[in-house]
Amino acid sequence: MENGSVKFISGIWLFFLASISVFFVVYSLSAYQIQARIQAFSAGDQTFSVWRIKRLSNRLKERKALIAPASIAVQNTRNEIADVQRKIDEASQQKQSAESERDKYVREIVTYIRRAAGPDFDLAGFNSKLNSEGGQTVQGELDIITEADHSLPPEKSVDKQLMVNYRNNLDISVGSHFKVIDLEKKADSLKNELLTKISRRYSIEKNAISIFDGDMQVNKADQVKIEDFLDELNVLDVNFGFMGYMTQIPVELLTILLVICMGILGSSIYLTQSFFDSSTGFGLGFYIFRPFFGALTALALFIVIKAGVIVAIDPFQLSKSGAALNPFFVSFVGIVGGLISEQAVNRIRTSAQTWLKSSTYGRNRWAINVEEYIAKNNKSLPALFEFFDADAQTVTEWIEGKRETPPHAQRTIAAWIGVPSRNLFTDIPPSDRTAKNEYE
């Protein structure tokens, strides 16, 4: 296969590999951190595991599904009331506007009638009728104006368009008035219906299953806090469905998956750098199989570090469960295993050869964190001196890591504290550890 074709296929493979590795790294690392949040979440004196949160989440979904129809009915009625109120406001505004226009035309008509009235027109009676109780009603006002108009000489009658405008606004005003009355009756009916539906919903909520276990004593504030947290996880489950499944993976398995994904990511970084380096000249097979080699190396490196054969972190931390491990340290181990797989394999091989040359108790080693374990297990250092022929100063230097500890002393100290010897002693001299820390 020509170099150009190899380069092109390798580029396509690298793009696919980078996309997949980033996807799984993001999801696995996020799921790891979400599990850590769940483990750290508490409400009152209650703590929660992933499985307990999942159980509560399912119950919350069932409860909401049971209450949802009643809640929707309440909300729909509220929307209807809001819509009716909007129509009442519109009709009231229309009525007010029409009455204002009607009053304007009434004033114009009355002024005209008073000015156009002849000697035979009973102007005093006209004024008296307008000011009477009957003249204050809409129908009375209309009858008085119509009667006065007919009493005028034909040539002096009120302008027809003015009368049409007056009647039109009068009809609008009256129609709006009755419309408002009808709408207010409808609003009152809907409000009574709303109260009934709210009462029904309250009854359903009261009789619905509780999301909490029978032995869980949760006050109202903590209940709201828990339900908010469950809603947050449910949103995550709905929008990122695959994430929801990954958060339910046991943390020990999720840790291994994270290491493998980071190993592939480290290999992707290495291969991408090599792709742009014309001096490498790797073949297509190398680009295809190097990520698998990186994933295997990352997993092996993590196991060796977790076993304490390679000291990368405090040995006391090695005895903790996967949930206690920093996810970014786990990610770092995976990336290192994938990025520099060859060096990692050599380091593992060297550690294995050293371990096989002699038994764990067959050589002098240096104490590390023995003092912390003594304090942690409430041991008294002077009581340890009785088990050795060596003087107290020598034993103290063993404990403080200032002098190599003989194999028999390692066994005695480990048995006395009750902690495996591999967690108490290391092959690395203090000077090398100090130099390593200064470098870091």
Q: What is the mean pLDDT of residues 320-335?
A: 74
Q: Which two tokens stand for residue 220?
A: 């109202």
Domain membership flag for residue 392? yes
- Paired strand residues for 43: 46
Distance CA 54, CA 233 (A): 9
Domain membership flag for residue 228? no
Separation in Å, CA 233 to CA 240, 247, 254, 353:
10, 10, 18, 48
Domain CATH code at residue 384: 1.10.260.40
Distance CA 392, CA 389 (A): 9
Distance CA 33, CA 27 (A): 10
Structure confidence at residue 6 (pLDDT): 78
Domain membership flag for residue 232? no
> Which residues, 6+ apart, have CB-to-CB distance to 120 below 8 Å?
none
Distance CA 340, CA 267 (A): 8
**Residue where the block lists tokens 């009647």:** 167
Share of the chain above pLDDT 90, in %: 15
Same structural domain for residues 178 and 309?
no
Output the pTM of the full model. 0.53
Domain membership flag for residue 236? no
User: What would you report as the CA-atom Rg of the chain, rounded to the nearest whole angstrom?
Assistant: 44
DSSP category for residue 323? G
The answer to whether 373 touches 433, Cβ cutoff 8 Å, is no
Distance CA 323, CA 50 (A): 11
Of 186, 207, 228, which residue sits at a domain end? 207
Amino acid identity for residue 175 in this structure: G
Q: Which residue has the higher pLDDT, 415 or 318?
A: 415
Same structural domain for residues 175 and 292?
no
Run of H or E residues at 126: helix 123-131
* Predicted confidence (pLDDT) at residue 324 exceeds the cutoff of 70: no
Of 178, 207, 236, which residue sits at a domain end? 207
Q: In the structure, what pLDDT confidence band is assigned to residue 84 with cuts at 50, 70 and 90?
A: very high
Q: In the structure, what pLDDT confidence band is assigned to residue 439 with cuts at 50, 70 and 90?
A: very low
Same structural domain for residues 111 and 184?
yes
> Which residues, 6+ apart, have CB-to-CB distance to 377 below 8 Å?
417, 418, 419
* Predicted confidence (pLDDT) at residue 402 exceeds the cutoff of 60: yes
* Predicted confidence (pLDDT) at residue 434 exceeds the cutoff of 60: no
> Taking the CA of residue 228 as centre, how many other CA atoms within 13 Å lie in the half-sphere pointing to its CB?
9
Structure confidence at residue 2 (pLDDT): 61
Of 154, 186, 207, which residue sits at a domain end? 207
Same structural domain for residues 256 and 298?
yes
Task: Determine whether 298 is exposed, middle or buried from the number of CB atoms within 10 Å of its CB (0-12, 13-18, 19+).
Answer: buried
Same structural domain for residues 402 and 267?
no
Same structural domain for residues 252 and 324?
yes
Structure confidence at residue 165 (pLDDT): 85
Domain membership flag for residue 48? no
Average of per-residue pLDDT values in the chain: 81
Same structural domain for residues 120 and 168?
yes
Same structural domain for residues 374 and 312?
no
Q: Which two tokens stand for residue 34?
A: 């979400």
Q: Which of 17, 23, 105, 86 is nearest to 292 (CA)?
A: 17
Share of the chain above pLDDT 70, in %: 85
Domain CATH code at residue 86: 1.10.287
Range from 60-74, 201-215, 260-274, 418-432 carrying the lowest mean pLDDT: 201-215
DSSP labels, 34-45: HHHHHHH-EETT
Convert the pLDDT of each residue in 98-151 to its tens digit. 888 888 888 888 888 777 776 666 667 777 777 776 666 777 878 888 877 777
Same structural domain for residues 203 and 88?
yes
Same structural domain for residues 35 and 121?
no
How many degrees, rounded to 5, is the angle at CA 252 between CA 292 and CA 427? 80
* Predicted confidence (pLDDT) at residue 388 exceeds the cutoff of 80: yes
Structure confidence at residue 318 (pLDDT): 46
Range from 99-113, 225-239, 255-269 carrying the lowest mean pLDDT: 225-239
Same structural domain for residues 80 and 197?
yes
Domain membership flag for residue 431? yes
* Predicted confidence (pLDDT) at residue 320 exceeds the cutoff of 60: no
Q: In the structure, what pLDDT confidence band is assigned to residue 358 with cuts at 50, 70 and 90?
A: low
Which range of residues forms the domain containing residue 264? 3-42+245-357
Number of domains in the chain: 3
Domain membership flag for residue 222? no
Domain membership flag for residue 349? yes
Amino acid identity for residue 371 in this structure: E
Same structural domain for residues 36 and 142?
no
